[in-house]
Amino acid sequence: MEYLNPGRAPYTARERELIGAAHTRQARAHFDRHPAYRPTPVHTLPGLAGTRAVHVKDESGRMGLGSFKALGGAYAVHLLAQRHGGGTPVLCASAGNHGISVAYGAREAGVPCAVYLGHDVPEAFARRLRVLGAEVRRDGDDYEAAMAAAQRAAHEHGWRLVADSSWEGYTEVPLDVMRGYTVLFDELAGPWPGTGHVPPGAGAPWEAPTHVFVQAGVGGLAAAAAGYIRDRWGEQPKIIVVEPEGAPCLIESARAGRPLRVPGSHTDLGRLDCREPSLIAHRLLTRLADLYMTITDDDAEAAVRLLAGHGVALSACGAAGAAGLVALSPSGRAALGLDSTSRVLVVGTEGPVEPK
């Protein structure tokens, strides 16, 4: 399913107030002081999928936590402690990676942390959370049920909820989370240590890409990407939001013109398995994204194999943006002007979950 966004509109001061380069500078200043922080590498794959080059921003090694989410929850916990002082415990619901980030931030801030996981989240995540000192609470069959449990507990015990999603009346913390994510795009600002070599003719990754494919669960990453990209690179790069066929909450919400909870169906793309969009993400993307699309689990697995063939190891969820590029229909490519001159950015959001 592909949906060309009829609501696409220019980036204005209204969006900049939510997500823009100024927020990124603050987040970057925090991380630049952090001992575990290093920019992650980019792998440049010339000629892939009928393009001039695909640049894969590889988040698998992010701060030793396995995904880009390390930049969001931990940063939000740091800001909470700064604003309100330490002491109050934090909690969150997670499909896995967000909880790891919040637990990491809580350990640094010296506050207790509880993470609510649906029964569908792999035990590997629960183990990693406990290693970080978080209490794992299994509650509910899916992410939405775990989120409801976390909200109830925050209310009952007065703990601070650190959610990566947002809704009416709850936007401050998720905005901090999203502003943290923008750091990964900021790292494309200049030559950086990492894989370094850019093959001749491929174009340097820090030049503006022509197309950016970003996978979405609740849409926090995609909206962070869109805000930062529009502020930094302007209106030209096409932004494509990629969701699993089984959890198409952003595409359906964009179609409906309001945030919807979708019934969905099973998907193996665990961390993208969200049935309801983040309100802020929905609002930003309906103005800033060019196209929404869904992929199948098989598309994602094929992208994992394709990238592995080029030495880039990602999970299916991590390869979902690249899967969108490969799966895009000829009419979608034509509508976006995607061809052999295009320089595409995708985010490899996560390494293999259970490395073999």
Residues in touch with ligand PLP (CB under 6 A): 67, 69, 95, 97-98, 164, 215-222, 271-272, 274, 317-318, 349-350
d(CA 139, CA 117): 6
What is the closest distance, in whole angstroms, from the C-beta atom of residue 221 to ligand PLP in the complex? 4
Question: Helix 172-186 to helix 73-84 angle, to the nearest 10 degrees?
Answer: 130
Closer CB to ligand PLP, residue 24 or residue 97?
97
Closer CB to ligand PLP, residue 90 or residue 281?
281
d(CA 7, CA 4): 9
Closer CB to ligand PLP, residue 272 or residue 306?
272
Give me 325's structure tokens: 């590029």
Q: What is the DSSP letter of 67?
A: B
What is the closest distance, in whole angstroms, from the C-beta atom of residue 270 to ligand PLP in the complex? 8
What is the closest distance, in whole angstroms, from the C-beta atom of residue 237 to ligand PLP in the complex? 19
Cβ(118)–Cβ(139) below 8 Å: yes
H or E stretch at 116: strand 113-117
| Encoded amino acid at 287, one letter | R
What is the closest distance, in whole angstroms, from the C-beta atom of residue 173 to ligand PLP in the complex? 13
d(CA 352, CA 288): 30
What is the closest distance, in whole angstroms, from the C-beta atom of residue 247 to ligand PLP in the complex? 10
What is the closest distance, in whole angstroms, from the C-beta atom of residue 255 to ligand PLP in the complex? 18
The rounded Cα 273 to chain-centroid distance in angstroms is: 13
Closer CB to ligand PLP, residue 56 or residue 202?
56
Q: How many CB atoms lie within 10 A of CB 112?
A: 15
Closer CB to ligand PLP, residue 69 or residue 179?
69
Closer CB to ligand PLP, residue 49 or residue 216?
216
Question: Helix 21-32 to helix 73-84 angle, to the nearest 10 degrees?
Answer: 90
What is the closest distance, in whole angstroms, from the C-beta atom of residue 197 to ligand PLP in the complex? 26
Cβ(117)–Cβ(146) below 8 Å: yes
d(CA 202, CA 188): 15
What are the φ and ψ backbone dihedral angles of 107, each rounded to 5 degrees? Answer: -60, -40
Closer CB to ligand PLP, residue 121 or residue 328?
121
